[in-house]
């Protein structure tokens, strides 16, 4: 039961961790039996040696830890409390009680290890999904390589039932992939040629050839796993408080125990040193803060594990606390609440402009953008834009693209882009509801293309659940035109929405909410969302469709891309907080009562063992409940 920030594991080593405590327990029980029947030979040095062996089997590592922690300045810790109390018990002849304290402490550690392992399973399952080998086609040969040896541009072959080792794009034919290991969703996803396939997915039906687009260290899976491993190192405020509390609490407890021995000498008539020393030793055992320093981190660890099992990655236990406290959720639209899968609806060239000419130049320019709307235009144009010379491309955030295509100056973006370059356009464009790509060639308006997106299946449910969950302010912000934004907001039941925003405009709204004293979570997926994600109290990224920059900046990553998981994350955060505080109150109340009894001479070492190890075990079992809860 590591104390404070130390991470000692003082449980027994070996194939069977229960063997040594088992031997100690047998020796203790036999010794108690011999004492009970008053066996003649079981006295003096024989009795001391018998209990001494039982004690050293389980106690020497704790005493070693107490000594080794002194050079680092960590003198007053639970190892010191346990060592003083048990050695003191031996000094006054209370051998069975001294052994019992150390034995039950060790058993408590075994329970702790089992609980931690249980909490780690869902995370470890995620860590184990990285493939260890990959089949690659090179020079007409099929080679089996370590994923780290594969280079960009290689073609992977993934057979039915095999796992995808690296991120890439599907090349040969449509294929169905099981994404449960990544997203927690059991419904397979069908990928078409040209679509992205991520490491960790499992090919289900047909031989898939995948063009590698990311090295081993750069796959979304590798980055997410690194986040999970870092998560447990970030402490919540409650954990930090307990660490600071323990550093002050322990020397106070040692001082009080010392006073409990010395002060009665001056105020009690029939003072018996042995009696008051025993009370002080009981006091020390009871005072060990095992239940606090173990169950609290374990509770948060369990919360992180339960969340990862649900496809939600908290990058630290501190964000579990913050997630519970938020009262305002600000959501991006495209890719967060909507599918981010656009399709061209209409092509409206200006008078005298051939549709093919408009599409060829705009499509070629849009090949230089990764925006979902740009991808929709490129997909619609198809082969027409392949091989067209494009140069001097400039992406203007929140506006669109500018570049030179086949000798022409081309603008493609929203109406603000044309206004920025003083290009006149028809007033009707401002009234178009759908998302729109307005084009100008050589300074002249040449037409527009409408593109439509649709809400995600669970978007409306996500809004309802967040409102029901006590979120007092729900806002949608979008760079898309305001008419589209308001239409989606009405469709989903969002009361406040703002469209036509630049990244700095989104940041301004979030800063405004923060200035009002609100606890704000921002949910986004695009590169332009990364600054706002960093600004909010809790930044949440959509991990499947989201950009790497946003995922790395975020505090919470939703792997499934389902906005309804935001409410799930809140439920997990509240459950974790509840369990942690149940353990804190359990420890303080029980220890307070038994401390008073111990100081008054009404509690023995056996009650002290319950107050210390027993409460710790109860707290551990309570923390494990998080793993069993349904969210």
Helices (H), 69-145: 78-91, 95-127
Which of 142-151, 337-346, 449-458 is least confident? 337-346
In the structure encoding, which two tokens stand for residue 267, read together?
């105020």
Characterise 162 by phi-psi region: left (phi > 0), alpha (psi -120 to 50), beta (else).
beta
* pLDDT above 60 for 532: yes
| Mean local confidence (pLDDT), 249-264 | 86
Q: Give the DSSP letter of residue 339.
A: -
Higher pLDDT, 184 or 528: 528
> What is the spatial distance between Cα 86 and Cα 94, in angstroms, rounded to a whole number?
9
Q: 370 — phi, psi (to 5°)?
A: -105, 5
Classified as helix, coil or strand, 204 is coil
CA angle 68, 72, 78 (to 5 degrees): 60
Structure tokens at 480: 């898309």
Q: State in Å, rounded, how far the first CA of the chain is from the last one.
A: 29
The whole-model pTM stands at 0.61
Residue of 492, 456, 457 whose CA lies nearest to 475 = 492
Domain residues of the chain, as ranges? 151-215, 222-337+456-630, 340-455
Q: How high is the mean pLDDT of the chain?
A: 82
Domain at 222-337+456-630: CATH code: 3.40.50.1000
Q: What sign for the dihedral angle of Cα 620, 625, 627, 628?
A: positive
pLDDT of amino acid 195: 86
Residue 557: HSE in the Cβ half-sphere, 13 Å Cα cutoff = 30
For range 285-308, the mean pLDDT: 75
Distance of CA 340 to the CA centre of its chain: 25
Are 151-215 and 340-455 in the same CATH fold? no
CA distance 351 to 49: 104
In angstroms, the CA 181 to CA 200 distance is: 7
Q: How confident is the model at residue 101 (pLDDT cuts 50, 70, 90)?
A: confident
Is the confidence at residue 6, as pLDDT, over 60?
no
Give the pLDDT score at 242.
59
Q: Which of 14-23, 49-58, 287-296, 558-567 has the lowest mean pLDDT?
A: 287-296
The first and second tokens of residue 36, run together, are 């009970």
Which residues are identified as catalytic? 332
* pLDDT (0 to 100) of residue 12: 39
| CA-based torsion, 146, 152, 154, 159: positive or negative | positive
Give the tokens for residue 211.
Answer: 């063009």
Confidence category of residue 2, pLDDT binned at 50, 70, 90: very low
pLDDT at 464: 95
**What fold does the segment set 151-215 form as a domain?**
2.70.150
Q: Residue 94 has what pLDDT?
A: 81
Q: Where are the beta strands (DSSP E) in 166-288?
A: 168-170, 175-178, 189-191, 196-197, 202-203, 208-212
Radius of gyration of the chain (CA): 33
Whether 63 and 83 have beta carbons less than 8 Å apart is answered as yes
Two tokens at 621? Answer: 């079992």
Q: How confident is the model at residue 480 (pLDDT cuts 50, 70, 90)?
A: confident
Q: Is 598 within 8 Å of 302 (Cβ atoms)?
A: no
340-455 sits in which CATH class?
alpha beta
pLDDT at 10 over 60: no
The span from the CA of 505 to the CA of 332, in Å, is 12
Q: How confident is the model at residue 240 (pLDDT cuts 50, 70, 90)?
A: low
Whether the CB-CB separation of 556 and 315 falls below 8 Å is answered with yes
Question: Who wins on pLDDT, 564 or 339?
Answer: 564
Confidence of residue 221 (pLDDT cuts 50, 70, 90): low
In this predicted structure, which of 231-245, 368-382, 524-538, 554-568 has the lowest mean pLDDT? 231-245
- Please give the share of the chain, as a percent, with pLDDT higher than 90: 31
pLDDT higher than threshold 60 for residue 92: yes
* Higher-scoring residue by pLDDT: 416, 548: 416
Bigger pLDDT: 171 or 17?
Answer: 171
């Amino acid at each position: 039961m590591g104390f404070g920030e130390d991470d000692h594991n003082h449980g027994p080593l070996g194939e069977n961790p229960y063997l040594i405590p088992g031997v100690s327990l047998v020796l203790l029980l036999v010794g108690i039996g011999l004492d009970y029947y008053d066996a003649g030979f079981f006295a003096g040095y024989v009795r001391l040696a018998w209990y001494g062996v039982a004690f050293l089997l389980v106690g020497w590592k704790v005493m070693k830890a107490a000594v080794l922690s002194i050079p680092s300045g960590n003198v007053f810790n639970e190892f010191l409390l346990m060592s003083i109390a048990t050695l003191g018990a031996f000094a006054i002849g209370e051998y069975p009680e001294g052994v019992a304290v150390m034995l039950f402490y060790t058993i408590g550690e075994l329970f702790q290890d089992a609980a931690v392992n249980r909490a780690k399973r869902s995370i470890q399952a995620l860590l184990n999904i990285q493939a260890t080998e990959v089949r690659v086609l090179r020079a007409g040969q099929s080679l089996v390589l370590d994923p780290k040896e594969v280079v960009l541009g290689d073609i992977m072959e993934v057979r039915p039932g095999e796992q995808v080792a690296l991120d890439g794009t599907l090349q040969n034919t449509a294929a169905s992939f099981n994404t449960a290991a990544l997203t927690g969703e059991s419904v397979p996803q069908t990928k078409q040629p040209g679509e992205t396939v991520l490491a960790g997915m499992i090919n289900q039906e047909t031989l898939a050839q995948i063009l590698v687009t990311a090295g081993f260290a750069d796959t979304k899976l590798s980055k997410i796993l690194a986040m999970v491993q870092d998560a447990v190192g970030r402490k919540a405020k409650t954990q930090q408080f307990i660490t600071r509390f323990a550093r002050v609490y322990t020397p106070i407890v040692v001082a009080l125990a010392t006073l409990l021995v010395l002060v009665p000498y001056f105020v009690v008539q029939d003072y018996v040193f042995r009696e008051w020393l025993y009370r002080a030793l009981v006091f020390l055992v009871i005072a060990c803060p095992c239940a606090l320093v173990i169950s609290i981190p374990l509770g948060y660890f369990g919360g992180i594990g339960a969340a990862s099992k649900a496809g939600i990655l908290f990058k630290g236990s501190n964000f579990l606390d913050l997630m519970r406290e938020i009262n305002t959720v600000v959501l991006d639209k495209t890719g967060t609440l909507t599918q981010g899968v656009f399709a061209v609806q209409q092509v409206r060239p200006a008078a005298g402009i051939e549709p093919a000419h408009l599409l060829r130049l705009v499509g070629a320019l849009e090949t230089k953008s990764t925006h979902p709307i740009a991808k929709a235009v490129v997909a619609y144009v198809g082969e027409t834009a392949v091989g067209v010379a494009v140069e001097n491309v400039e992406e203007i955030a929140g506006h669109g693209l500018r570049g030179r295509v086949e000798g022409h100056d081309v603008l493609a973006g929203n109406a603000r882009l044309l206004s920025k370059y003083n290009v006149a356009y028809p007033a009707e464009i401002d009234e178009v509801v759908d998302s729109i790509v307005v084009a100008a060639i050589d300074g002249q308006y040449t037409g527009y293309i409408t593109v439509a997106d649709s809400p995600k299946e669970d978007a409306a449910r996500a809004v309802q659940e967040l409102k029901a969950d006590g979120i007092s302010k729900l806002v949608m912000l979008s760079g898309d035109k305001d008419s589209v934004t308001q239409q989606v907001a009405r469709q989903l039941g969002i009361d406040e929405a703002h469209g036509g925003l630049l990244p700095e405009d989104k940041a301004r709204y979030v800063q405004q909410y923060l200035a009002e004293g609100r606890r704000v979570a921002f949910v986004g997926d695009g590169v332009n969302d990364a600054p706002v994600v960093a600004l909010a109290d809790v930044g949440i990224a959509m991990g499947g469709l989201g950009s790497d920059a946003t995922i790395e900046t975020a505090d919470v990553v939703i792997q499934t891309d389902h906005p309804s998981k935001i409410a799930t994350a809140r439920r997990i955060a509240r459950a974790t907080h509840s369990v942690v505080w149940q353990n804190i109150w359990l420890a303080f109340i029980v220890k307070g009562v038994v401390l008073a009894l111990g100081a008054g001479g009404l509690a023995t070492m056996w009650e002290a063992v319950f107050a210390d190890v027993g409460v710790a075990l109860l707290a551990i079992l309570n923390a494990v409940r998080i793993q069993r809860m349904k969210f």
